Structure 1
Amino acid sequence: MIRKVFGLVPAEFAHLTPKLLAAIIAQAVSQAVAYVLLVPVLEALFGDDLGRAWWWTLAMAVAVGAVIVFGYLQATIGLRIGIGMQRGLQHRIGDHLNALPLGWFGARDAGALSRVVVENVREVQGLVAYLLAKMLTSVVVPLGVALGTLFVDWRISLAMLVAAPVLYVVNRWANRSYGRSDERMHSAATEANSRVIEFAQAQPVLRAFGAVGSGNRALDGALRRQRTAANGLVLSTVPGLMVFALLVQAVLLVLVYLVVGRVTDGAISAFAAIALIAVSSRFVEPLNQAAQLATALRSAAAAAERVNALLAEPTLPESDSPVTPGAPSVVFERVEFGYQAEDPVLSDITFTVPAGTTTAIVGPSGAGKTTLLRLAARFYDVGAGRVEVGGHDVRDQPSATLLDQLSLVFQNVYLFDQSVADNIRIGRPDATDAELHRAAQAARVDEIVDRLPDGYDTAVGEGGATLSGGERQRVSIARALLKDAPIVLLDEATSALDPHSEAVVVRGIHELTRDKTVIVVAHRLATIAHADQILFLDGGRIVERGTHAELLALDGRYADFWNERSRATGWRLEPAPV
């Protein structure tokens, strides 16, 4: 466990870990020496040998001084490592998350990820900053006291040396079920966190369908399972702690019995016996503390396992070779892909999007249209074949080089809980206010800003909750316009918008795609008809390709799709006959 925890210490603080361990052990040894020296101090003091008493007292004072000095060192070093570890580890996790394929996030719960990044990192930090010193002290002090007592009476020392491993074994037995209970508690708490977030974010839907309060079965069930898991954790921990505590007290009674017996035999003085009883209590106290620490230690160990498991998730290989992009074209060559190896989504996909042209991708839901866009942006790596952007395989380009060539506008727009201006500037943080305003005006975001209380400085809420769907889409187009990349990947999302919002967004899209290379998952008939190339995708394969006129003349799948869409655009409500 300790090796895994120290493996999480940032490199710039790694040189401090040997110093921390040395300071902890030195403090614990000094503490044990101070306890054992109580025996000769009391014997000399009450035996009227003041000369020896002064020397033993001086030795004891040196040991106590060492405890203070090494205690200060281990506390400051531990805090320094712990604080640096929290900051460095969270940055490391953030960098790792940035390198993970997007598909990894789709299978993960946001609540679980949040617990690892925040709570589990804090637990690991606490283990280094605080718990490690207590844990090592609870081992070294009893061992030091037992060995030191050997110079006073070997029988009492032997009893201590036998009792310590027995207590350790009992402690392991008493806490053997904690790991399973802690994992159940972690899962239940993660689900409860997610349900609470969901409850806060989905209030309109919940209220519309009466699923609030006791009507929200998902939230109630998650909270109930969390309470059950918490009770299970207590029930699996407390009985073992009680048994261990009773055994520790029994060990203390046995040691006191042995000390009294040695006095009765005349082997040691009454003054030495008093000191040995005090030393015996110092022997069992760290052991008792170890039992109380066991729960926290196991929790921290489980947290370290989760953090290590997250950091062990395989990332997309990153090229470090500089690449100079060529003409802004996109090429798919015999591409095979599946989110899971045994379940292919795309098969034998081959097409070229020449620079400055528009390719529209159409087809039924689930055909793999959006997946094609994500492969072009290297959100995933292909299973077979290759994808080229700017004349180079996307796998051979550094991420920054690849993404500099792309502007992405997807269906699900996510805005950060920041100002409108900050959300538009995400693609170009160094953009001037004039450039930002031009992009916002082209996307008609200025119409939104005029209605907001603080203009461009108005916070949009988590996910852009204070804006409508059409308004969020306008902001996403503005950020793409501001980036001004030569290739646009567009998952057009106007079908769910009202006519006014759709018209505004479409004008923004036309501005965005002017003189650009465009791949668009098309929903609007006008976009489809004016594309230089249309790909009809079904079942993960391109079943038809050509221009609009060529595909209509073919009278195949695309023609059926076009006719259905054309009929749908002309529907209207008729008054019911009286």
Structure 2
Amino acid sequence: MIRMLMRVLGREYAQPLRRTVALMTTTAVAEGLSYALVVPVLRALFGDTPEDAWPWLIAFGIVIAVYAVLRYVSDLSGFHVGTELLRGMYHRLGEHLGRLPIGWYNAGRLGEISVLASRGVLQAMSVIAHLLAPFISACVTPLTIVVVMLVFNWQMGLAALVAVPVVAAIQIWTGRSMVAGDEERAERDEQATGRVIEFLQVQPVLRAGGRTTERFRLLDDSLRDVERASRRSTFSALPGAVGLTLVVQTMFTALLVLGAYLALDGDVGVAEILTILVLAARCADPVLSLTDIGGKLRGARSVLAKLDTVLQTEPLPEPAEPLQPDGHDLEFDSVTFRHGDRTVFDHASLTVPQGQRLAVVGPSGSGKSTLLQLLARFYDVDAGAVRVGGVDVRAMDPEELMARIAIVFQDVYLFDGTIEENIRLGRPDADEADVRAAATAARLDEVIERLPDGWAANVGEGGALLSGGERQRVSIARALLKDAPIVLLDEVTSALDPVNEAAVHEGIERLMAGRTVVMVAHRMRTVQRADRVIFIDEGRIVEEGSHDELLRQGGRYAEFWNISMAPAVRD
């Protein structure tokens, strides 16, 4: 557990964590040793001169005070180190996620990372602040007490020592038997959470179908799975909890019988017997708490394993000596790219001269958006090369590459903040005049004018307080402010109303002016603004040329054009 924790945290946190563990161990030993003073106290009280107990009582009080100070310092150290490690873990996780390829982030991973980055990290780091001290105390204090018992009476100490391997075996067995149940419970909880979200999201569909009072079967099934998994997890924990209780009770009973026998035989005095029984009783509470602590530690270990898996994910390699591109032309050189078992591109080649516009057309799933992602190095190709300015993108510094590219996606995400803050993401150090000019060029100024708070208007999480067209205008303003020489457009007008479409088109034209552009076209009218068009199908570029040339050829592109224009002709 500690080794995995250190691997996840990194070596820079090893020393404070070791220091905290050492301090907590010392505190647990001090607690166990303090009980040794109970023997002379009871001897004096049961002897002929009870007043002789005062010096031992004072010594006992001093030792308890020292233990209290140690406990305070160790607990405080645990909280401080836990807080530092929590902050460090967030920084390390954030920095690592920032270096992973964008293509790594799919819908499933986003959900997993969101859970890890919120509840998961807190649960894992709570080990230091809340679980480490009780766990060390539950293990070390009873062992110290057993050593004290051995010193005062080897027979009873040996009898207590016999229980140690039995307790350890029960804990190991319980942990192993509950691993599968804990994993199933965690999996069922995640599925149930997803079903609850789905139930909320599909309310319009359910209500449109007249099913407003009907139970959502998928959610009910998922909740029943959680119930069954919880029941199995509880049942799997019962044998260990009951077994541990029986071992502790059996040990105490055996010590009681052995103590009575030794006292009747005259080998030990009443004070020693009472002391050893008090010590045995003091061992019981921390040992019994191991069941509850063990369950929490298993949960934290499961989270640490997931964090470790994420942190072990290799980012895209960075060159030791990055190269600077000469110009802003783009090239696919015999590119092969596979996504899972599917080959998206198979030895595809194309060039986009600097300052020209390339339109990418093809059926759904043909790889149009993937082409943009490869240009931006969201993924690395399996064979061939993607070049910018004659330099392989793998030989460029990632920050340098992204500084040269402005991307406008079809689905725009805005951060929960003001419009101005979202625009400034394109160039944080831009002055106010440049921000206002970018907003005006994207025709965002007319949106800002009608908002009650103007530039200070909050867009909500994901831009929820703006319409789709308004979010697109913010995205275009952001790209305009960045002023990158290469622009990648994933058809941004396919779901807009005519008013917003016209405004967005105007902003896009300003954005494309004088730049190298690759645009994915879903609406065929967009293609007419391109210098060259390629038609992609099944991982290959099957047609290439200008809009007019491809229409004259009468091939796949012409067929797509005729189909897309047919509704307009009928209208």
Structure 2-normalised TM-score? 0.94
- Which digits, 9 at most, give the CA deviation of each residue in 1:39-87, with x for residues without a partner? 1221134324679745644553453233223212211221111111111
Tell me: CA distance 1:318–1:196, structure 2 relative to 1, closer, same or farther (3 Å): farther
Range with greater deviation from structure 2 (59-68 or 369-378) = 59-68
Residue identity opposite 1:529 in structure 2:
Q
Alignment of 1:454-493 (within 5 A): 454-493=453-492
Tell me: CA distance 1:235–1:115, structure 2 relative to 1, closer, same or farther (3 Å): farther
Alignment of 1:26-175 (within 5 A): 26-48=26-48, 53=53, 56-57=56-57, 59-106=59-106, 108-175=108-175
> Deviation of residue 521 (structure 1)?
0.8
Range with greater deviation from structure 2 (56-65 or 457-466) = 56-65
In the alignment, structure 1 residue 534 sits paired with structure 2 residue 528: no
Tell me: CA distance 1:298–1:445, structure 2 relative to 1, closer, same or farther (3 Å): same
**8 Å Cα contact 1:174/1:243 also seen in 2:** no
Q: Percent identity?
A: 42
> Deviation of residue 461 (structure 1)?
2.3
Corresponding position of 1:225: 225
Tell me: CA distance 1:212–1:370, structure 2 relative to 1, closer, same or farther (3 Å): farther
Tell me: CA distance 1:11–1:176, structure 2 relative to 1, closer, same or farther (3 Å): closer
- Which digits, 9 at most, give the CA deviation of each residue in 1:532-565, with x for residues without a partner? 2211111010111122232233322222222222
Instruction: Please give the alpha-carbon distance, in whole angstroms, between the structure 1 residues aligned to 2:185 and 2:34.
Output: 42
Q: Secondary structure at the match of 1:8?
A: helix
> Deviation of residue 243 (structure 1)?
3.3
Tell me: CA distance 1:75–1:124, structure 2 relative to 1, closer, same or farther (3 Å): same
Instruction: Please give the alpha-carbon distance, in whole angstroms, between the structure 2 residues aligned to 1:203 and 1:571.
Output: 36
Tell me: CA distance 1:73–1:428, structure 2 relative to 1, closer, same or farther (3 Å): same
Corresponding position of 1:576: none
Residue identity opposite 2:177 in structure 1:
S
Instruction: Please give the alpha-carbon distance, in whole angstroms, between the structure 1 residues aligned to 2:379 and 2:289.
Output: 50
Tell me: CA distance 1:453–1:205, structure 2 relative to 1, closer, same or farther (3 Å): farther
Corresponding position of 2:415: 416
**8 Å Cα contact 1:360/1:535 also seen in 2:** yes
Residue identity opposite 2:270 in structure 1:
A
Instruction: Please give the alpha-carbon distance, in whole angstroms, between the structure 2 residues aligned to 1:212 and 1:239.
Output: 45
> Deviation of residue 7 (structure 1)?
2.5
In the alignment, structure 1 residue 448 sits paired with structure 2 residue 447: yes
Tell me: CA distance 1:399–1:448, structure 2 relative to 1, closer, same or farther (3 Å): same
Instruction: Please give the alpha-carbon distance, in whole angstroms, between the structure 1 residues aligned to 2:511 and 2:302.
Output: 49
Instruction: Please give the alpha-carbon distance, in whole angstroms, between the structure 1 residues aligned to 2:64 and 2:38.
Output: 11
Q: Secondary structure at the match of 1:561?
A: helix
Instruction: Please give the alpha-carbon distance, in whole angstroms, between the structure 1 residues aligned to 2:336 and 2:143.
Output: 63
Range with greater deviation from structure 2 (201-210 or 403-412) = 201-210
**8 Å Cα contact 2:185/2:226 also seen in 1:** yes
**8 Å Cα contact 1:111/1:191 also seen in 2:** no
Instruction: Please give the alpha-carbon distance, in whole angstroms, between the structure 2 residues aligned to 1:254 and 1:292.
Output: 25
Residue identity opposite 1:79 in structure 2:
F
Tell me: CA distance 1:414–1:11, structure 2 relative to 1, closer, same or farther (3 Å): same
**8 Å Cα contact 1:109/1:194 also seen in 2:** no
**8 Å Cα contact 1:368/1:537 also seen in 2:** yes
Range with greater deviation from structure 2 (7-16 or 546-555) = 7-16
Instruction: Please give the alpha-carbon distance, in whole angstroms, between the structure 2 residues aligned to 1:429 and 1:230.
Output: 49
> Deviation of residue 27 (structure 1)?
0.9
Corresponding position of 1:358: 357
- Which digits, 9 at most, give the CA deviation of each residue in 1:82-113, with x for residues without a partner? 11111111221122222222332215253332
Instruction: Please give the alpha-carbon distance, in whole angstroms, between the structure 1 residues aligned to 2:229 and 2:461.
Output: 31
In the alignment, structure 1 residue 300 sits paired with structure 2 residue 324: no
Instruction: Please give the alpha-carbon distance, in whole angstroms, between the structure 1 residues aligned to 2:223 and 2:418.
Output: 34
> Deviation of residue 381 (structure 1)?
0.7
Q: Secondary structure at the match of 1:108?
A: helix
Instruction: Please give the alpha-carbon distance, in whole angstroms, between the structure 2 residues aligned to 1:164 and 1:365.
Output: 65
Corresponding position of 1:312: 312
Corresponding position of 2:507: 508
Tell me: CA distance 1:217–1:472, structure 2 relative to 1, closer, same or farther (3 Å): farther
**8 Å Cα contact 2:318/2:397 also seen in 1:** yes
Range with greater deviation from structure 2 (50-59 or 187-196) = 50-59
Range with greater deviation from structure 2 (314-323 or 500-509) = 314-323
Alignment of 1:423-434 (within 5 A): 423-434=422-433
Structure 1 gaps, min length 5: 573-578
Structure 1-normalised TM-score? 0.93
> Deviation of residue 353 (structure 1)?
0.9
- Which digits, 9 at most, give the CA deviation of each residue in 1:179-198, with x for residues without a partner? 21211121122223333344
Instruction: Please give the alpha-carbon distance, in whole angstroms, between the structure 2 residues aligned to 1:184 and 1:255.
Output: 41
**8 Å Cα contact 2:6/2:13 also seen in 1:** no
**8 Å Cα contact 1:25/1:137 also seen in 2:** yes
Range with greater deviation from structure 2 (507-516 or 183-192) = 183-192
Corresponding position of 1:275: 275
Residue identity opposite 2:283 in structure 1:
F
Range with greater deviation from structure 2 (429-438 or 119-128) = 429-438
Corresponding position of 2:264: 264
Tell me: CA distance 1:217–1:453, structure 2 relative to 1, closer, same or farther (3 Å): farther
**8 Å Cα contact 1:536/1:543 also seen in 2:** yes
Corresponding position of 1:13: 13
- Which digits, 9 at most, give the CA deviation of each residue in 1:280-317, with x for residues without a partner? 11122221121231211111111211111221222211
**8 Å Cα contact 1:259/1:273 also seen in 2:** yes
Residue identity opposite 2:79 in structure 1:
L
> Deviation of residue 130 (structure 1)?
2.1
**8 Å Cα contact 1:362/1:522 also seen in 2:** yes
**8 Å Cα contact 2:175/2:298 also seen in 1:** no
Corresponding position of 1:575: none
**8 Å Cα contact 1:24/1:71 also seen in 2:** yes
> Deviation of residue 210 (structure 1)?
4.8
Residue identity opposite 2:376 in structure 1:
A
Instruction: Please give the alpha-carbon distance, in whole angstroms, between the structure 1 residues aligned to 2:184 and 2:272.
Output: 51
Q: Secondary structure at the match of 1:355?
A: coil
Instruction: Please give the alpha-carbon distance, in whole angstroms, between the structure 1 residues aligned to 2:424 and 2:217.
Output: 41
Instruction: Please give the alpha-carbon distance, in whole angstroms, between the structure 2 residues aligned to 1:479 and 1:208.
Output: 38
Tell me: CA distance 1:96–1:244, structure 2 relative to 1, closer, same or farther (3 Å): same
**8 Å Cα contact 2:185/2:233 also seen in 1:** yes
Range with greater deviation from structure 2 (48-57 or 80-89) = 48-57
Residue identity opposite 1:193 in structure 2:
T
Residue identity opposite 2:90 in structure 1:
Q
Instruction: Please give the alpha-carbon distance, in whole angstroms, between the structure 1 residues aligned to 2:210 and 2:41.
Output: 76
> Deviation of residue 178 (structure 1)?
1.9
- Which digits, 9 at most, give the CA deviation of each residue in 1:359-389, with x for residues without a partner? 1111111111110000011111111111112
Residue identity opposite 1:264 in structure 2:
L
Tell me: CA distance 1:88–1:206, structure 2 relative to 1, closer, same or farther (3 Å): farther
Instruction: Please give the alpha-carbon distance, in whole angstroms, between the structure 2 residues aligned to 1:448 and 1:201.
Output: 28
**8 Å Cα contact 1:406/1:487 also seen in 2:** yes
In the alignment, structure 1 residue 522 sits paired with structure 2 residue 521: yes
Instruction: Please give the alpha-carbon distance, in whole angstroms, between the structure 1 residues aligned to 2:80 and 2:36.
Output: 32
**8 Å Cα contact 1:41/1:57 also seen in 2:** yes
Tell me: CA distance 1:484–1:563, structure 2 relative to 1, closer, same or farther (3 Å): same
Tell me: CA distance 1:345–1:128, structure 2 relative to 1, closer, same or farther (3 Å): same
Corresponding position of 1:4: 4
Q: Secondary structure at the match of 2:420?
A: helix
> Deviation of residue 160 (structure 1)?
0.9
Instruction: Please give the alpha-carbon distance, in whole angstroms, between the structure 2 residues aligned to 1:258 and 1:317.
Output: 68
> Deviation of residue 335 (structure 1)?
0.7
Tell me: CA distance 1:221–1:437, structure 2 relative to 1, closer, same or farther (3 Å): farther
> Deviation of residue 405 (structure 1)?
0.4
